[in-house]
Structure 1
Amino acid sequence: MKSYGSNTAWKQINTLLPEEFQIRENNLPLEDTWQWNCNNIHLDRYPNPNSEYRIFLHHGVGTNGRQMSMILGHKLAALGYDVVAIGNLGYGMAEVTQKDITYDNWVHRFSDFVNTETKLDYKKPIPYGLSAGGMICYNAACFMNEVHGIIGMCFLKNDDKTVGKETAKFGWSNWFAFPMMNFFSKIGFARLKLPMKAVSKMNALVNNDDALRIFLKDKASAGA
């Protein structure tokens, strides 16, 4: 299993947070893995057998599971919640074997995980999504057996023309970008890899220049 011990970006960003929000070495989450469709999905856990609720943290397209643990997970755990942050396909420490990854994969991986966890060790599930993770939580909830609330920091429907224009790096190009991507996908370029920072406004990810530079270089988050 790949570990965040090999990733320095989150540690560097951690030092830039207000001191009371910094995650401490003696309070790091437990690292775990879950297999989905032959992919190893990384998990950060703050287990609490006495908690009534389990909060499932889902990151966006510029972050990862450890960063969710860092900015929010350890604080929720301190309040007594059972917390787990899941990494997405293509982000964090996920070990991906499948060749084609779609948004539907993102959605069903998350809903399958919540259903599996809830069945194995029952706690009332609450999905929490940051940025694009908000919309993933909303979509995935449609396939969850049980949901006791959704916390979403943002709900982005990027195939909406207005939303797409405002979130794309070059909004003026959005009117032809989606049709062109669909065309290239159909003629055999479905696996052409583009960094998210080339197509979306990753420069607006964070309001600290030092942190932004770290994020954009990090292949496990904004540099993915």
Structure 2
Amino acid sequence: MSYAKNREWEKIQEYLPIKNRMKVDMEPQEYFISIQNTEVHIDHYKVDRPRGRVIMFHGVGGNGRLLSFMAIPLMKCGFEVICPDLPLYGYTKYRGIVTYDMWVSCGVEIVNYFRREKRDTFLLGLSAGGMLAYQIAALCPEITGVMATCILDQRNRIITKQTAVNPVMAVVGNAILSMTHRVIGSWKIPMKMIANMKAITNNQDLADILMKDTRSSGTKVSLAFVYSMLNPLLETEPENFTKCPFLLVHPEDDRWTDVELSRLFFDRLACEKELQILEGAGHFPIESKGLEQMQRYCVAFMEKCLTE
């Protein structure tokens, strides 16, 4: 199966600004790459003589195809864009128990796979993909810059409480998982039972569609994944991160993760950094004005960082 054969993702397109919708001649090349115990599905938006490469990472409510809303404008601006489906999501095939640590190691190998062709490489993470992009950048050589719509350190229990489906679930759930994840880690539960998925977008009709989609917000994840996501292992603390510049493009009307939650980590970063607010945008920033700003800020950031 692939997005070319299963067109369910097209339901999302009508909620996007017209210029961000995918036309037939804009559809990415689809293929799989073998990494660890997975066959990672890739959406690859190719351009002639690209100015740079952007590898985009979705969060716990998305998949690679949902990132088309930003991949298309970046492609139009001359950047090669690569959107993988991370294990548990989209069409990526995997064996064994998936943990968040596996996301990090898989992400590092994805970046290294494409870096075989030398080119300025940027990472762009949305939602939980923001912290993931940071962790991958810390482990990969020669990353030109990192961009994110939010960056949440789930080791901070303030963040865990405010992003979970309810505060009690955050506290009690993590305590129970700390004692049981090694025994029943393979058990799967819907992500929407844990995280506040209904706030993934400010359009309730779209949120309902996403939460019914078993390849995005409606997927089931293992208890081992949940525990490792809530207790991530960071190789580099933000005070020691100087590898590359960092751009935070945070939605103004994010009803899931307020900008102040991201600032708890962002303000500690030792690298060159920049914060821009996307006016009127929700967590999944599909609103026209905020999306235009996101494109403009990301392109300007990359143009400033380009080395070739």
Task: Write out per-residue CA displacement over residues 121-158 of structure 1, whole angstroms, 9 at most, x where no aligned residue.
Answer: 11111000000000000011111121000001111112
**Partner-residue secondary structure (3-state), 2:145:** coil
Contiguous gaps of at least 5 residues in structure 1:
none
Give the counterpart of 1:81 among 79, 86, 89: 79
1:108 aligns with 2:114: no
1:56 aligns with 2:55: yes
Structure 2 counterpart of 1:68: 67
Report the Cα distance in structure 1 between the residues aligned to 2:19 and 2:48, rounded to whole angstroms. Answer: 26
**Partner-residue secondary structure (3-state), 2:114:** helix
Structure 2 counterpart of 1:200: 195
Kindly state the Cα deviation for residue 77 of structure 1 after the two structures are TM-superposed.
0.4
TM-score (norm 1): 0.94
Kindly state the Cα deviation for residue 200 of structure 1 after the two structures are TM-superposed.
0.4
Structure 2 counterpart of 1:164: 160
Report the Cα distance in structure 2 between the residues aligned to 1:123 and 1:47, rounded to whole angstroms. Answer: 13
1:17 aligns with 2:16: yes
Task: Write out per-residue CA displacement over residues 138-180 of structure 1, whole angstroms, 9 at most, x where no aligned residue.
Answer: 0111111210000011111122110000000011332221120
Report the Cα distance in structure 1 between the residues aligned to 2:75 and 2:167, rounded to whole angstroms. Answer: 39
Structure 1 counterpart of 2:281: none
Kindly state the Cα deviation for residue 111 of structure 1 after the two structures are TM-superposed.
1.1
1:127 aligns with 2:123: yes
TM-score (norm 2): 0.69
Aligned length: 219
The 8 Å contact of residues 108 and 143 in structure 1, kept in 2 or not, is answered as no
Contiguous gaps of at least 5 residues in structure 2:
220-308
Task: Write out per-residue CA displacement over residues 75-119 of structure 1, whole angstroms, 9 at most, x where no aligned residue.
Answer: 11011101111110100111112x211111101111111112112
Structure 1 counterpart of 2:150: 154
Could you list the runs of 4 or more consecutive aligned residues of structure 1 that deviate by over 2 angstroms after TM superposition? 5-9
Kindly state the Cα deviation for residue 18 of structure 1 after the two structures are TM-superposed.
2.1
The 8 Å contact of residues 129 and 136 in structure 1, kept in 2 or not, is answered as yes
Report the Cα distance in structure 2 between the residues aligned to 1:174 and 1:114, rounded to whole angstroms. Answer: 32
Report the Cα distance in structure 2 between the residues aligned to 1:210 and 1:8, rounded to whole angstroms. Answer: 18
RMSD across aligned C-alpha pairs, in angstroms? 1.2
